[in-house]
Structure formats: C-alpha cells, structure tokens
Amino acid sequence: MCFIVTNMLYSLQSVAGQDKYLPSDEIWVCDLEEVFQMAGEVPPSMSGTCGCSLNGHMYIFGGYDKIGQSNQIFCVNLTDGKYTWRSIKHKIGSAPSHRDKLSCWIHKGSYLVLFFFQLEDVVWGWNNEVHVFDPVHASWSEPQTHGRTPTPRATQASATLGCRGYICGGRVMGTRMSDIHCLDLESWTWSEIIPVSTTPVGRSWHTLTAVSDSSLFLFGGLNVDCKPMNDGWLFDVQTKKWREHPFKTKPRLWHTACLGKDSDVIVFGGSCDYIFNILTGHCNDALIFQMQPYSLYRICENYIAKNVKNCEVLRHQLLLLPPKLVTAVQRRMSLYRRNSIS
C-alpha cells in the first residue's frame, strides 16, 4: 500500500448556501482500488479539517460542517482493518476554540500540534495560536512560545522535519504570502527563514510536503491574482534556497499531498479552478512528482506498465514473472490507466 487518501479533506460540491460535503463514512485506499465502509462515531461531513497519521492511526481535528466550525478530534485505527471512527474526548486541559483551515504537525510520535485560523460563534478572526494534543494522556495544552510569531493567517501550508514544524504562506490580511516560518518543537521558538534565492509567488491553498531530512516540496495554490497555480518548488532549509521543480502539470489548489513510494509526492483531489467556481473545478486524479532518480526496479515497472498495452511480447512475458512482481506491475498498470499519467 503506497498511501492512503480519505475524504478527510472533504470537498464542497455546490454553490451559495447549499454546500454539499462528502460523507465521512468512506475511506479510499489507493493502490488497492478499494473503498471501505467506515462505522463507529462517524464525524460530520466537513471541509478544512486538519489530519495526520500517528502510530498507525489517523487523527482529524476541527473543520467546517453545515452548522459551523468544529473543535472535535476523531481517530481511526488504520491497521486493524475495521475502519471504525472514535470521537476522542480530552481529559486534561481545555480544547482550542472551534476552527477550520488550520494545520497540524506531529512531534515525538505522540503529540499532535495544531495552530492557526479560527472562526468562533460570534466574532471571527484568524489567529496564530499553537495548541498541543497528547493522545496518550488525552490532554490539551498551550505552550508558551518564544521568538517572533508569524502573523495570523489561514490556508497556509505546513510540514514537519525532525523536531521542527514549518509553515509557508497562506492568506495574510488582504494578501497571499510565501514566507516561511519554523517552530522548534523542543524549545517552542519561532523563527522566520529568509530565502537567499528567487522565491515562489505568494499563495494560499497550496501544499508543503517533507521529501528529505532537509527539503520541503511546495505545490500549487491560489496566487494573489486568484489564479490557480501549477508550479512546484523545492526548498532546502539548510541552504535556504528555493529551486523550481522542472515538471509543470495541471493547476491545483485546496488539494492534499503526501510522500509515497520512492520519494514521489502524490497530489490528490482539490480544485483546478478559482475557489468560488465550486461547481466546476473538482478533480479526482492523482498527480505524481518525482523527487529523485528511480531505482532500476522502478524504471522497469514503469516501462512495462506504460508499454504493455502496445507490446505483445511484454504482454506474454508479464505472466512469466514471479507472482509478487506481476501484482506490483498490475497495480502500476492500473494507476497508468486511471490517471493517464506519463
């Protein structure tokens, strides 16, 4: 299994006041082409939740449903094959206020760190708070941070590298930014990283994915002129340099991204249109970004998957491979079929 995408980044499907959210009781497992029905304490259908995978469990927090923002945590064990949602009630501390369009980081394999953007019952506003949830003790706490806290914002992109949480850009007051801030999760100190290279244009609704010990991959988003972006960039946190990824693809915003096999970044879902054209823009294709040279094995797998249809010799020889390899190649073939990737 290469990666798991759920509809936890649920998508809006219709206009003005009649927003429709996808149900929370389905989990789509890519590479196996299977959908599992979920049961238990199923969360309401929402958009703008934040989610992460921690010790074989998927956690989601916050989000926006038909009624408003949420501050609840839900959890699914992804390893027992039951896909049963549990609502997590905290025992210690107080939960953050209701919010959506936020980010989370994972720290020390046990903490869920959350921050940013809230919309409360009466007054709404963006914030730059950091809250920590510890699933082992079911406790919420708010650490005292040091350094210069980034300006309050929404729909920023975030990623974790070691014991540091990074955020990039997002909607900041009347504009969209591409500034990078780092929070040391041991000392709780914020610092801004000033790049020493060309930087991507400001944006919101983009993604940031950790692709090595020191680099982050940014993709897509919505720029200051409300144009959906199709550019990808690598940022090295040590050299502080941005480098544009050579592979340009379709524009995408409000999508999900994660690191898959062989260091590929897999982008799924989102919209290819301006954020308010919610009737037209939805995407369900997967975009794959290669981050490093592939192994010989992967090159062969790709070659066969791509060419088997038009090559009789390959077609006949495929079944002579050991069963494990046949299965792997067939999965790769189905990925090519579904996404017409090249």
Query: Considering the rule CB under 6 A, would residue 53 count as an interface residue with ligand NAG?
Result: no
> Binding ligand NAG by CB under 6 A: which of 18, 79, 175, 238?
79
Is beta strand 215-219 parallel, antiparallel or unpaired with respect to 207-210?
antiparallel
* Candidate segments 32-40, 75-83, 122-130, 260-268, binder of ligand NAG by CB under 6 A: 75-83
* Candidate segments 7-15, 74-82, 176-184, 190-198, binder of ligand NAG by CB under 6 A: 74-82
* Candidate segments 73-81, 179-187, 224-232, 273-281, binder of ligand NAG by CB under 6 A: 73-81
Residue with smaller CB distance to ligand NAG, 79 or 280: 79
Residue with smaller CB distance to ligand NAG, 75 or 272: 75
Query: Considering the rule CB under 6 A, would residue 109 count as an interface residue with ligand NAG?
Result: no
Residue with smaller CB distance to ligand NAG, 77 or 263: 77
* Candidate segments 10-18, 77-85, 180-188, 239-247, binder of ligand NAG by CB under 6 A: 77-85
Smallest distance, Å, CB 162 to ligand NAG?
Answer: 25
Smallest distance, Å, CB 54 to ligand NAG?
Answer: 11
Query: Considering the rule CB under 6 A, would residue 136 count as an interface residue with ligand NAG?
Result: no
Q: Which of 185, 93, 187 is nearest to 133 (CA)?
A: 93
Smallest distance, Å, CB 210 to ligand NAG?
Answer: 25
Query: Considering the rule CB under 6 A, would residue 77 count as an interface residue with ligand NAG?
Result: yes
Query: Considering the rule CB under 6 A, would residue 80 count as an interface residue with ligand NAG?
Result: yes
* Measured CA angle at 132 (ends 129, 135), to 5 deg: 155
15 φ/ψ angles, rounded to the nearest 5 degrees: -95, 170
Given the rule CB under 6 A, which residues bind ligand NAG?
A: 77, 79-80
